[in-house]
Structure 1
Amino acid sequence: MTQMTPQEIVHELDKHIVGQGKAKKAVAIALRNRWRRAQVADPLRQEITPKNILMIGPTGVGKTEIARRLARLANAPFIKIEATKFTEVGYVGRDVDTIIRDLVEIAIKSAREQAVKGVRVRAEDAAEDRILDALLPPARGNFFNEQQATDDSTTRQKFRKKLREGELDDKEIEIELAAPSMQAEIFAPPGMEELTSQIQGMFQNMGGGRKKSRKLKIAEARKLLIDEEAAKLVNDEELKLDAVKNVEQNGIVFLDEIDKIASRSEMQGADVSRQGVQRDLLPLVEGTTVSTKYGMIKTDHILFIASGAFHLAKPSDLIPELQGRFPIRVELDSLSVADFERILTRTDACLTMQYQALLATEGVALDFAESGIQRLAEIAWSVNEKTENIGARRLYTVMERLLEELSFTAGAKGAETVAVDAAYVDGRLGELAQNEDLSRYVL
């Protein structure tokens, strides 16, 4: 779990997302409250539940990006899922309980990676010894004495040095490795994922502990041996228990596109499964117990962050019980021309920087003038206003169209410098931006 303060979290989010201060502040406080709760003593700690967040705003303004960046900062079990993938129990589609099962799998995978990092040095030493055992003959038998022991040790150290310097990487050796477990692909009806995973687990455990002799180059054998030795050093049972506890106490679920499961008042026929999904989500968000192959998981302290554009439905179209489960509501603003300019220049790994790096590989130096950036921002904003407002995603289309010809001919002309100013932008995009019919289909 991260120990960053809300100000530090917002500062990190500012590097990648322009504006949306209210949304950033809300998720930063929610993330910090996880740490604050951990400092409170029982039994009061058990009574403190997370305050779920509902982010409302048009497409392309940063809702999903906030979730992606938050996942990296959280240092906690995190899953982002689309609400549209789920259907009411009994219909074809995924059951909402699989959200928690997937979250547990993510937590265990992450915990295993951390544990392997912790034992990597010991695993490398053990793998090295096994390779040396395969390379060198065993110690001599009846005539073994102190001098021979010294000679064997010296030879072993020489080979160890060569091994570490990579001189033996292409040499082939024969080693014994654990035989791979049986892989069985099982197709089951929707809602039976738990049974499927249990059957797959049974197949994987069959034949466990068997060894198989393989001839491999040392470079390849080393990787496999390190993985095998690391797996021996990691306590899998303890790891799973810690991961389950981490999910229950610090887990975060990001429900994207929640507006797509809202039932619009004018549409009745197609909503047969939408309200069912909302009702299935209710106990999950409020706090329930979900059965997984790692045991029962309580969802009482898992934080849920939902987001949706709500351009067809309204938040009030969600069933009242679900609305009540998201007490914190944040509205994200549409992007202005100034926001587009900042997206193009101020964010980490901004679009202009990406295109400069791509074309630099062909010897083309792109120089974005301030007037060019401003004109690009104006065109992107204008097209959004005249046609569908897709937010910052419009910049991808505009930039691709702007540099299409240059990207096609780059490399054929040799090294050159291209100044992208207002005139350059207008020459390639001006007519398209002004013609509403063309911009609707091309930009």
Structure 2
Amino acid sequence: MSKIICDFCGAADTKANPIITGDNACICKSCVGAAYDIMNGEIILDETSNNSKKPKDVKIKTPAELKKILDEYIIGQDRAKKVLSVAVYNHYKRIFRKDELESDIELNKSNVLLIGPTGSGKTLLAQTISKYLDVPLAIADATSLTEAGYVGDDVENVVTRLVQAAGGDIEKAERGIIFIDEIDKIARMSENRSITRDVSGEGVQQALLKIVEGALVNIPPKGGRKHPSQELLQVDTSNILFICGGAFDGLEDIIKRKQGSNVLGFNHEKKSKNDESKLISKVETDDLVKYGLIPELIGRLHMIATLNEITKEDMVHILTEPKNALIKQYIKLFEMDKVTLEFEKDALLELADLAIKRKTGARGLRSILEDIMLDIMFDLPKYKNKKIIITKEVVLKTDQPKVIAKDK
């Protein structure tokens, strides 16, 4: 019996790459996938290449298209969304269209620094953009990182996480995104360089420099510490986009001092939260140096975006408007049990108030809602063909929800 061969690429029939046979031709699984991508415009082929499955170019979404995607999931923060959209567009244009560059021109990476209070959407921005670009994303907490050789995570371990997120595909990982949260927590305590070892502050910043800029990093395939007997993987970080985020508490005071405003004293005027958020938007690189980031690291985070504290109105929009809005999710869960769920306007405002009081930002909304809805969800099947209305009193836990029988 003759061996079945793909008529398109010449591959043999295997369990991992099975071949479909027809009357006059045979095609393997890989070629079917490549054909699907070509028909859907996801891959534009290099006609001069012998390997027809290798992409020459990938369709890159424009900044406006990227912002539109972010608008579906994140309320407000227009400036930050624009900065991130432009940075991502330029970054992937630099990777996938480098053939259009003249040989004497080199484009640098557009790494991003996001500054904003907790729960303002820094992580969600990175997660949403990576999801729709279909690139791997690794999220690391800067507070767990230490300089190589000390207890804690090596800085290079964040690259290992990216390779794991890419399913072990080094090539895919090399054009992924790394989000480093709590970057402000590794600030050094003063502007002067420390004469003693600062293994979790300035030391981590120094260790981050080479991977953020772009370097060949040797990483253990399964993470953890490097061992001499272990075969290491080599990853080039030149095309990995780094997004760093942090709350930077106290940065407003540094900006105030620079502007000559009183921070303490009899003439100090208490500013509103709106004024404070406007102040953060005026941040400059020297303010970040004063805060404790080293100039070399700031120089590698070329684009700075500030996020505003979420207002009460924004909280209500977050609850109801995005594609993955919590209220929409609960309505769908109730529908599956043939129960109609409705929230009164006052109830939504009270939910927003509770989240603001707890100072947990938008991420605190889910835990508040879960607590309020627990007893109702427990008895949900018995409310079949009924309508449940959540009032302000239900949110405050002073009354039960209204239950109305639906017209059949």
Same fold by TM (over 0.5)? yes
Confirm or deny that 1:63 pairs with 2:122. yes
The aligned counterpart of 1:311 is: 249
Q: 2:206 aligns with which of 269, 276, 279?
A: 279
Q: What is the SS of the residue equivalent to 1:304?
A: strand
How far did 1:339 drift? Answer: 1.2
CA contact (8 A) 2:90 2:110 kept: no
After superposition, what is the alpha-carbon deviation per residue over 1:315-358, rounded to whole angstroms, capped at 9, x for unaligned? Answer: 43222221222121111011122212211221113111211222
Q: 2:342 aligns with which of 343, 361, 367?
A: 367
How far did 1:12 drift? Answer: 0.9
How far did 1:11 drift? Answer: 0.7
After superposition, what is the alpha-carbon deviation per residue over 1:164-208, rounded to whole angstroms, capped at 9, x for unaligned? Answer: xxxxxxxxxxxxxxxxxxxxxxxxxxxxxxxxxxxxxxxxxxxxx
Question: Structure 1's 88 and 359: CA in aligned 2 closer, same or farther, altered over 3 A?
Answer: same
Q: What is the SS of the residue equivalent to 1:79?
A: strand
Q: Which has the higher helix share?
A: 1
Q: 1:26 aligns with which of 83, 86, 105?
A: 83
Question: Structure 1's 409 and 296: CA in aligned 2 closer, same or farther, altered over 3 A?
Answer: closer
Quote the Cα distance in structure 2 between the aligned partners of 1:284 and 1:367. 50
Q: 2:366 aligns with which of 390, 393, 396?
A: 396
The aligned counterpart of 2:97 is: 39
CA contact (8 A) 2:122 2:245 kept: yes
Quote the Cα distance in structure 2 between the aligned partners of 1:289 and 1:32. 24
The aligned counterpart of 1:49 is: 108
Quote the Cα distance in structure 2 between the aligned partners of 1:411 and 1:297. 52
Question: Structure 1's 340 and 46: CA in aligned 2 closer, same or farther, altered over 3 A?
Answer: same
Question: Over aligned residue pairs, what C-alpha RMSD do you find?
Answer: 3.0
Question: Structure 1's 350 and 54: CA in aligned 2 closer, same or farther, altered over 3 A?
Answer: same
Q: 2:183 aligns with which of 258, 273, 289?
A: 258
Query: Given residue 297 of structure 1, which amino acid in structure 2 is its aligned partner?
Result: V
Query: Given residue 284 of structure 1, which amino acid in structure 2 is its aligned partner?
Result: I
Confirm or deny that 1:328 pairs with 2:303. yes
The aligned counterpart of 1:102 is: 161
Query: Given residue 214 of structure 2, which amino acid in structure 1 is its aligned partner?
Result: G
The aligned counterpart of 1:128 is: none
The aligned counterpart of 1:429 is: 396
Quote the Cα distance in structure 1 between the aligned partners of 2:130 and 2:142. 18
Query: Given residue 109 of structure 2, which amino acid in structure 1 is its aligned partner?
Result: P
How far did 1:413 drift? Answer: 5.0
Q: What is the SS of the residue equivalent to 2:154?
A: coil
CA contact (8 A) 2:73 2:323 kept: yes
* Structure 2 unaligned regions, length at least 5: 1-57, 220-230, 253-287, 400-408
CA contact (8 A) 1:263 1:275 kept: yes
Q: 1:405 aligns with which of 360, 370, 375?
A: 375
Confirm or deny that 1:341 pairs with 2:316. yes
Question: Structure 1's 429 and 295: CA in aligned 2 closer, same or farther, altered over 3 A?
Answer: closer
Q: TM-score, normalised by structure 1?
A: 0.58
Query: Given residue 289 of structure 1, which amino acid in structure 2 is its aligned partner?
Result: L
CA contact (8 A) 1:380 1:394 kept: no
Confirm or deny that 1:12 pairs with 2:69. yes
Quote the Cα distance in structure 2 between the aligned partners of 1:15 and 1:375. 24
Question: Structure 1's 90 and 356: CA in aligned 2 closer, same or farther, altered over 3 A?
Answer: same
Quote the Cα distance in structure 2 between the aligned partners of 1:431 and 1:318. 48
Query: Given residue 366 of structure 2, which amino acid in structure 1 is its aligned partner?
Result: Y
